Each structure stands twice: as C-alpha cells, then as structure tokens.
Structure 1
C-alpha cells in the first residue's frame, strides 16, 4: 500500500467501485485526483494511429494511478481503465498536496516510489527497443514483477494473457507464444496451468 487507506480517508478520500472497462480518465484529461487501487486492477493504455491498443502498465492493489501528473501542469498521456471490477480511493489533488505537505515521510515514500518506477521504466524502454522478442518480454515481465515485494524466482503470477503481453510489447501473439516457450526452456519462467510465473 503506497499510502494507508486510513490516512487517505482522513484527508477526504472516497471509495469508488468501478465496473470492468470503466474509464477513470482519458488521454488529454487534466489530472484532478489522486487514485489508489484498493481492489482489482487498472490498466494504462494508449491507442496508436491504426487504433491498436498498447498496454503500458497493469496496476494492482496498493498502487497509485499516474500520481506523477499531480506534480506538473500536463494532461494525461494515457487512458486509465478498470481492467476488472475494482475499487479505488479517490482524493482531490489539493487534498493530496496538503497530505504530502503535512506528512514528510509519505512525501519521501512517494519520491522513492516514483524513482523506482522511472528506473524500471528506463530498463523496460531499453528492452522494448530490442529487435529480439525474448528481450522485450523479459523487460516487460521484470517491470511488472518489480512492483512486488517478493522477488524470489517464480513467485510472481503474471496476470496477463498472451494477447495482453503482445499489446504491451508491440509483438504478435504468435511471437509471444514462441518466446514464452523459449523462456520456459531457459528456466527464466514457469508455466503452470497455462499461467506464467517469473
């Protein structure tokens, strides 16, 4: 949990339950709220010129949603959509800034979190520029696992279908299937009941 639910609610955050595919915000909207996932998952996506969906991240319980945009005067570069039925805590931007001003440790925690995200984003971008599908997929899996405390081998069940992995890495589904099988042979990941573990 990035910020405790109790602290967020003490500053006026409200719980909202969202249906699957509910649009939380759209690319081009102005950031007005701090969002933190309480239950379910949220995807950040973008559509290219051909209308193909590119998934940029899947955010799980305890994570915030594009909080970095609350610190600058820019519009959202992505869409945030409920990946499944989920619950979020929603705190107005002004109350979020006040929370940080009055709780320096939380502010430091947010800075650390943003720094870690940027670090792994750089690694993922570097891997995504590779022409090798295996390198792209490994970079994406490492990025998603980086959100977890348990970093032991095969501890993270990847909550993505092969199609979603393809959307994140800009690869074809068939290519993803072949690359995942190759990574299993290399003992980088395990497949148990069609689920991928890294």
Structure 2
C-alpha cells in the first residue's frame, strides 16, 4: 500500500466502488483527485489513430493511479478504466498536497516510487523499440514483476492476458502466443493453467 488507508481517510479520502469497465477519468480530463486501489485492477490506456487500444499500465491493489499528474498542470494523456469491480480511495488534490506537506517521509516515499516507475518505463520503452518480439515481451514481463521484486523465479503471476500483453507491446496476439511458448522453452517463464509466471 503506497499510503495507508487510515491516513488517507484521516485527510478526507472517500471509498468509491466502480463496476467493471467504469471510466474513472478520460484522456484530456484535468487531474483533481488522488486515487489508490483497495481492490481490483485498473488499466491506463488510449487509442491510436486507427482505433487500436494501447495499454500503458495495469494497476493492482495498493497502487495509485496517475498520481504524478497531481504535481504538474497538465491533463491526463490516458484513460483509467476498471477491469473488474474495483474499490478505490479518492482524495481531493488539495488534501493530498496537505498530507504530503504534513508527512515528509510519505512525500519522499512517493518520490522514490515515482522514480522507480519512471526507471522501468524507460526500460520498457527501450524494449518496445526492438524489432524482436521476445525482447518486447521480456521487457513487459520484467516491468510487471518489478512491482513484486521479492518474488522468487516462477512465483509471480503476470496479471495480463495474451491480448493485454499484445496491447502493451504493440504486437499481434498470435505473435505473443508463439513467443510466450518459446520463452517457456528457454526457461524464462512458466505457463501454469494458461497463466504466465516469471
């Protein structure tokens, strides 16, 4: 959990429950709230000029949603859409800023978290520029495993379908399926009950 639920509620956070496919915010909206996931998963996406979905991240329990935009005067470059029924803590921007002012350690932890995410985004961008599907997929899998660095080999279940992995890496689903099977033969990952473990 990035910030404890109790502390968020102390500063006025409200619990909201969203159904599957609910749009929490859209590309072009102005950031007004800090969101932290209590249960469920949320994807950050947008669509290219051909209408193809591009997924930038899939966020799970304990993570915040596009918090970095609360620090600058820009609109959201992505949509935030729930995958399933989600419970989210929502804290207005002014109260979020006060919380950080009142708790410098949390502010430092937030900076560390943002720095780590940015680092892995750079790595993922570099991998996605490769023409080799295996490099793109390994980069995406490593990015998701970075959320749980303490997991031993083959203990972390990747929270993505083959279609979502294709949307993250700008590959075709068929290419992802074939490459994942090749990576299993190379002992980079395991497939257990159709789920990918790294």
Does TM-score exceed 0.5, indicating one fold? yes
Give me the whole-angstrom Cα distance separating, in 1, the residues matched to 2:123 and 2:152: 19
Give me the whole-angstrom Cα distance separating, in 2, the residues matched to 1:79 and 1:144: 19
Give me the whole-angstrom Cα distance separating, in 1, the residues matched to 2:121 and 2:159: 19
Give me the whole-angstrom Cα distance separating, in 2, the residues matched to 1:155 and 1:29: 38
- What does 1:1-198 align with in structure 2 at a 5 Å threshold? 1-198=1-198
Give me the whole-angstrom Cα distance separating, in 2, the residues matched to 1:68 and 1:130: 27
Q: What is the alpha-carbon root mean square deviation over aligned residues?
A: 0.7
Q: Deviations over 1:46-83 (max 9, x none)?
A: 10000110111000000000000000000000000011
Give me the whole-angstrom Cα distance separating, in 2, the residues matched to 1:29 and 1:40: 23
* TM-score normalised according to structure 1 size: 0.99
Extract unaligned runs of 5+ from structure 2.
none
Give me the whole-angstrom Cα distance separating, in 1, the residues matched to 2:132 and 2:17: 40
Q: Deviations over 1:121-156 (max 9, x none)?
A: 000000000000000000011111111142321111
Give me the whole-angstrom Cα distance separating, in 1, the residues matched to 2:62 and 2:161: 22
Q: Deviations over 1:89-128 (max 9, x none)?
A: 0000000000000000000000000000000000000000
Runs (4+) of structure 1 exceeding 4 A deviation are none
Extract unaligned runs of 5+ from structure 1.
none
Aligned residues: 198
Give me the whole-angstrom Cα distance separating, in 2, the residues matched to 1:77 and 1:38: 23
User: Which range moves more in the overlay, 146-155 or 108-117?
Assistant: 146-155
